[in-house]
Amino acid sequence: MKQETINRIRKFTEDRDWDQFHSPVNLAKSISIEANELLECFQWSDTDYDLEHVKEELADVLVYCRNMIDKLELDEDEIVNMKMDKNEKKYPVEKAKGNNKKYDQLEEL
pLDDT of residue 43: 96
**Within 13 Å and on the Cβ side, how many CA atoms surround 52?**
0
pLDDT tens per residue across span 83-104: 999 999 999 999 898 988 888 8
Which string of DSSP letters, residue by residue, matches 29-98?
A: HHHHHHHHHHHHTTSS-SS---HHHHHHHHHHHHHHHHHHHHHTT--HHHHHHHHHHHHHHHS-HHHHTT
Residue type, 107: E
Distance, in Å, from the CA atom of 15 to the CA atom of 33, rounded to the nearest integer, reads: 23
pLDDT of residue 22: 97
Sign of CA dihedral 49, 55, 58, 64: negative
pLDDT of residue 99: 87
For the question of whether the overall pTM of this predicted structure is more than 0.85, the answer is yes
Judge whether residue 25 has pLDDT over 90.
yes
Average pLDDT over residues 18-45: 97
Judge whether residue 28 has pLDDT over 90.
yes
pLDDT tens per residue across span 49-87: 999 999 999 999 999 999 999 999 999 999 999 999 999
pLDDT of residue 109: 52
Would you list the domain boundaries of the chain? 3-73
Residues contacting 31, CB < 8 A, separation 6+: 61, 64, 65, 68
Q: Write down the CATH number for the domain with range 3-73.
A: 1.10.287.1080
